[in-house]
Copies of this chain bind each other. A is one copy, B any other.
Amino acid sequence: MSTKKKITIKDIANVLGLSTSAISKALNDDSRISEKTKKAVRQVAENLNYQPNHLASALRSGKSRLVGVIIPRNNSNFFSSVLENIEEVLNEKGYNIIITQSNESFEKECKCIESLLFTQVDGIIASMANETTDLSYYEKIKAKGIPLVLFDRGEMALEVDYVGIDDYETSFKIVDHLLAQGCTRIAHMGGYDDTRVYGNRIKGYKDALKERGMPIDERIISKNKLRIDDGRKVMEALLELPNRPDAVYAASDFAALGALQILNERGVKVPEEIALVGFSNEPFTSFLSPAISTVNQNSAQIGKLAAEAFLNRVDAPVEKGEVKKIIIETELLVRASSDKKIR
């Protein structure tokens, strides 16, 4: 009943009168073992219900077949979709993933790295916490020669592979869309611009306006944490202005939600009086009325590409192999909140 006794390759070896090396090779499909023996070994392994001891092989081979993933927080659809795809790609190659959450805290992020290294992961795929500016822990990973791939929240300063979207370019798409809707005064709810992502969105927004010959008014540009409440407060302030904006581009769906709540509460017509666009395609944006236009970041693709970047690094020589920065296309999802039905 109780399978207390653990079956090892030694047991298989005893049954077949072979050496443990032969068993190990047979199970790993080594060319120097005859087909006949392999078949017999596999048969016996199954009969005995043999389960390879991962720890032993990892210790001996120096490969744990474990990949650590660090995400800021697992409450957004974006990250859970990225994770799902990383897992799918890596599982196929025999890797398991260990997921850790930094909770947007630099300190916790360091702990995550520590414990992943402790667990002897073969690589780390990470999205940095917003508050992280000290890159020494990431340098430590690199120094150990462990493949490191960043996604979404990266740092160009770090010489590592990166997969993300073009935030700058996406701001152009949004601004152009709003201009095409006839908007002439587009406000921006931005994140703190010391994070690359939000900085680029702000920069793209300003450059787009400039290139289209529109004025930039700092009074309708805000920077904060982009939570629902931030969106509410900023929207309230915007409505107080002598000349209201006729569009709001929020760099986060949560801020956009806050803005929409205020607009609905005040009876401001969306999109007729003020058009609204968010960012990230959180599922709830489509639940609301009006549904909020937003940006699909192709999270599935980001996950797949990040996993593949890791796999390439494992094979390819790590040293001096020109890091890859992969930027993928975003898709502007135009919904009711910014669709004036103009043709």
Contact = CB atoms under 8 A, between A and B. Distances in A.
Interface in A31-58: 51-56, 58
Contact of A55 (B59, B83, B283): B59
Interface stretch (A1-9, A10-18, A185-193, A206-214): A1-9
A166 B284 CA distance: 28
B54 A3 contact: no
Nearest to A84: B101
Nearest to A140: B3
A75 B283 CA distance: 10
B53 A120 contact: yes
A119 B66 contact: yes
Given A59-B59, A77-B75, A98-B96, A119 B54 contact: yes
| Copies of this protein, total | 2
A328 interface: no
Given A54-B119, A59-B55, A287-B288, A87 B101 contact: yes
Interface in A72-95: 74-75, 77, 80, 83-84, 87, 91
A64 interface: yes
Contact of A118 (B52, B99, B111, B289): B52
A311 interface: no
Contacts of A54: 118-120
Nearest to A98: B98
Contact of A59 (B2, B56, B87, B284): B56
A141 to B, nearest CB: 11
Contacts of A58: 55
Max chain B C-beta neighbours (<10 A), residue from A83, A101, A103: A101
B59 A1 contact: no
B66 A74 contact: no
A315 to B, nearest CB: 18
Contacts of A103: 84
A173 to B, nearest CB: 25
Given A87-B101, A284-B284, A289-B264, A119 B144 contact: no
Contacts of A99: 97-99
Interface centre among A55, A56, A64, A74 (most CB of B within 10 A): A55
A182 interface: no
B145 A4 contact: yes
A287 B144 contact: no
Interface string A232-275: 00000000000000000000000001000100100000000000
A115 interface: yes
Sort A-B residue pairs by CB-CB distance and give the 3 closest, nearest first: A284-B284, A55-B59, A99-B99
